[in-house]
């Protein structure tokens, strides 16, 4: 049972980390064009991208929940294995081994590799995984709204900075990247 929960948490953490980087790395011109299509997926993409900070916050909340649950169950599993193997009697050595193994597994399987993969295939994956992302976006909607509200208050009261500045227009670089991608796509098809 513990192993299946750990695997589910790793998959969820990979999904949340990946979707965060996919949104950041995606071509906003491409997303803008996809949102203009008249289909179910375009409506989902529109809802996901209408408030970028809330989408990112939802993905971060999901990732943190997955990491906490992972840490709890992975810690138990490692402690059981270390007790069974009787490798060490020192609590500090046991905790150090537990931290090292847990961190190594999570960094490789749910942070490093997914972020690389989602960054390379950002446009494809943000579109393909829009529906599950939207489900989690709705699930964490009120929590992310509260966190954004609190962080905006802290930014305004403590740091005297206005928060939540959204970029509404495409930059020249994004437009250029989109045109280059489309030209490569046409060349590949020929």
pLDDT, tens digit, for every residue of 160-172? 887 655 554 556 5
| CB-CB contact of 149 with 164 (8 Å) | no
- Residue 66: is it exposed, middle or buried by C-beta count within 10 angstroms (0-12/13-18/19+)? buried
Closest to 55 in 3D by CA, of 160, 113, 162, 129: 129
pTM of the model: 0.82
Reduce the DSSP state of residue 88 to 3 states and report it: coil
| CB-CB contact of 101 with 4 (8 Å) | no
- Residue 134, CA distances (Å) to 67, 153, 164 in order: 20, 26, 21
Digit-coded pLDDT (tens) for 66-110: 999 999 999 999 888 877 666 556 778 888 888 999 999 999 999
Mean pLDDT over residues 25-49, rounded?
89
């Amino acid at each position: 049972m513990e192993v299946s929960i750990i695997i589910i948490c790793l998959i969820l953490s990979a999904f949340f980390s990946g979707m965060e980087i996919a949104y950041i790395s995606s071509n906003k011109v491409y997303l803008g064009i996809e949102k203009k299509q008249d289909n179910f997926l375009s409506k989902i993409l529109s809802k996901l991208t209408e408030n970028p900070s809330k989408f990112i916050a939802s993905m971060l909340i999901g990732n943190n929940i997955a990491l906490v649950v992972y840490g709890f169950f992975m810690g138990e599993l490692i402690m059981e294995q270390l007790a069974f193997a009787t490798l060490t009697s020192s609590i500090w050595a046991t905790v150090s081994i537990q931290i090292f193994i847990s961190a190594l597994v999570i960094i490789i399987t749910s942070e490093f590799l997914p972020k690389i993969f989602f960054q390379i295939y950002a446009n494809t994956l943000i579109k393909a995984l829009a529906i599950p992302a939207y489900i989690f976006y709705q699930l964490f909607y009120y929590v992310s709204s509260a966190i954004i509200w609190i962080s905006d208050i802290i930014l305004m009261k403590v740091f005297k900075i206005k928060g939540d500045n959204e970029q509404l227009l495409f930059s020249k670089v994004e437009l250029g990247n989109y045109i280059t991608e489309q030209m490569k796509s046409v060349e590949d098809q020929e």
